[in-house]
Amino acid sequence: MQSPGMDQEVFDQFIEQLARYVRERLIPAEKTIVETDEIPSDILAEMRDMGLFGLTIPEEFGGAGMNVSQYIRTIHTLSYAMPAFRSIISINIGMFTSALKNGGTEAQKAEWLPRVASGEIACFGLTEPGSGSDSAGLQTSAMQTDNGWVINGTKRYITNAPFAKVGLIMARTSKENLPKNAHVSAFIVPFDVPGVSVGKSDKKMGQSGSHIADVILEDVRVGGEALLGGELGKGFAYAMMSLDNGRMSVGAAATAYARRALDSAIRYATERKAFGEPIANFQLIQQMLAQSEIDIYAAECMMEDVTRRADAGENVLRKAAAFKVFASEMCGRVVDACVQVYGGAGYLAEYDAERFFRDARIYRIYEGTTQILQLQIAKHMLREFAAAN
């Protein structure tokens, strides 16, 4: 059952307020965040007060109860600012909440949804040193005991791990690889239990203020209530269901950041003079600006279409993947054009263009690389063709 979402008038006012907050509060804070590599605690407190950690969580659990279109539009509005702001809230409202809403027991929802809605930070543990998109390679294991489970393994590149209070951890509950990935189950693991440790924050190409790290689980004992939904072998399915939302979120973020880069390029092109006139008057500069506008418009249309379909209850796996691939690749082209418009200045750290370029590169990798999503799209197309013929 799809959420009808927030009252539209209330939502429109919220978006207007958020857009103003992005312009007046978040963008001016970016320079400090680049220097310190962390979001200031007062901004995090403001984001909690605005309800940004619980956008899609049902109202009875303290969230805003947004539908998919509203949630993705909120992410799009927020993502005009640097990526760290989306990153800190995205796992809570996307991966963790989706998995809990789709597969959690009533007791699990009642315990965890209010906590993450109020701003306790969650993380999502699927990727490992030896496996990412390939669940057959998953090594983390959960062994059943008389009163629960013992989990052992290492998770890699886990967004928000250094700040997390809880993780949704994918672990192998069967030694054999089973059909439909039924060897993988999902566990809700509080990070204050013995045996959970978080490695040091990885140094990255871009995305200052956003943190990833290893999560190490050594003989971590959790009760039976930690198994998501109380069901074995459903973990990977729940993870994949929540990936549709994650992919739309990344697509929206890439689309908004491309717009930010284009706006920056237009401003620079009108201010920078060469041969006695603004470089914006030169047709080859105009071509780069125009092509960027065309690309962004296409992504915005895809965003509107896929979120509307998701709210109507359609299976959007293929379209969410297509939107994510197009928007992330498109953002790469636009930030590259932005550097080119800036010319030599675009390569200097004192200008925003080189940061946009570095920040955007990850969009083509996380939540499914372009290549794995192309394979997935093709597989679904061929399966549909075979079924119809």
**In CATH, what number is assigned to the domain containing residue 273?**
1.20.140.10
Domain span holding position 17 = 8-118
Average pLDDT over residues 285-289: 98
Among candidate residues 38, 128, 354, 367, the one labeled active-site is: 367
What CATH number corresponds to the domain at position 131?
2.40.110.10
The pLDDT value given to residue 178: 85
- Whether residue 26 contacts residue 81, with contact meaning beta carbons closer than 8 Å, is answered with yes
Q: Which class for 199: exposed (0-12), middle (13-18), buried (19 or more C-beta within 10 A)?
A: middle
pLDDT the model gives residue 239: 79
What is the token pair recorded at 101? Answer: 């809403």
Lowest-confidence pick of 72-81, 168-177, 217-226? 168-177
| Residue 378 pLDDT exceeds 90 | yes
Average pLDDT, the chain: 94
How far apart are alpha carbons 77 and 148 in whole angstroms? Answer: 42
172 and 147 co-located in one domain: yes
Q: How confident is the model at residue 76, as a pLDDT?
A: 98
Average pLDDT over residues 226-250: 88
pLDDT score recorded for residue 211: 94
| pLDDT value, residue 133 | 64
| Distance of alpha carbon 78 from alpha carbon 43, whole angstroms | 13
Domain total of the chain: 3
pTM for the complete prediction? 0.93
Question: Tens digit of pLDDT for each residue in 308-323?
Answer: 999 999 999 999 999 9
Do 93 and 156 fall within a single domain? no
Average pLDDT for 92-117: 92
Q: What is the pLDDT of residues 356-377, one digit of tens each?
A: 999 999 999 988 899 999 999 9
- Same structural domain, 145 and 279: no
Average pLDDT over residues 10-29: 98
The answer to whether residues 248 and 363 belong to one domain is yes
Residue 259 has pLDDT above 90, yes or no: yes
**Percentage of residues in the chain with pLDDT exceeding 70?**
99
Q: Does the structure show a pLDDT above 70 at 3?
A: no
Average pLDDT over residues 252-259: 98
Whether 75 has a pLDDT exceeding 70, the answer reads yes
C-alpha–C-alpha distance, residues 86 and 162, integer Å: 16
Question: What CATH number is associated with residue 20?
Answer: 1.10.540.10
**Is the pLDDT score of 281 beyond 80?**
yes
- Has residue 1 been placed in a domain? no
Which neighbouring-strand residues pair with 217? 153, 196
Q: What is the mean pLDDT of residues 84-113?
A: 92
Question: Rounded to an integer, what is the distance from CA 307 to the centroid of its chain?
Answer: 15
Whether residues 250 and 355 share a domain: the answer is yes
Token pair 């072998």 is found at: 233
Residue % of the chain over a pLDDT of 90: 86
Residue 203 covered by a domain? yes
Write out pLDDT tens, residues 122-153.
999 999 998 876 777 899 999 999 999 999 99
Tell me whether residue 325 is exposed, middle or buried, using C-beta atoms within 10 angstroms of its C-beta: 0 to 12, 13 to 18, 19 or more: buried
Tens of pLDDT, residues 33-71: 999 999 999 999 999 999 999 999 999 999 999 999 999
C-alpha 213, offset from chain centre = 16
Same domain for 308 and 374? yes
Give residues with Cβ within 8 angstroms of 55, minimum separation 6. 63, 64, 66, 70, 71, 74, 89, 93
Is residue 247 one of the residues assigned to a domain?
yes
> What is the arithmetic mean of pLDDT over 87-112?
91
**33 and 109 co-located in one domain:** yes
pLDDT in tens, 156-182: 999 999 999 999 999 999 888 888 888
Instruction: Give domain status of residue 93, yes or no.
Output: yes
Our answer to whether residue 300 is catalytic in this structure is no
Instruction: Give yes or no: residues 79 and 131 share one domain.
Output: no
pLDDT tops 60 at residue 1: no
pLDDT at 283 over 90: yes
Same domain, 257 and 338: yes
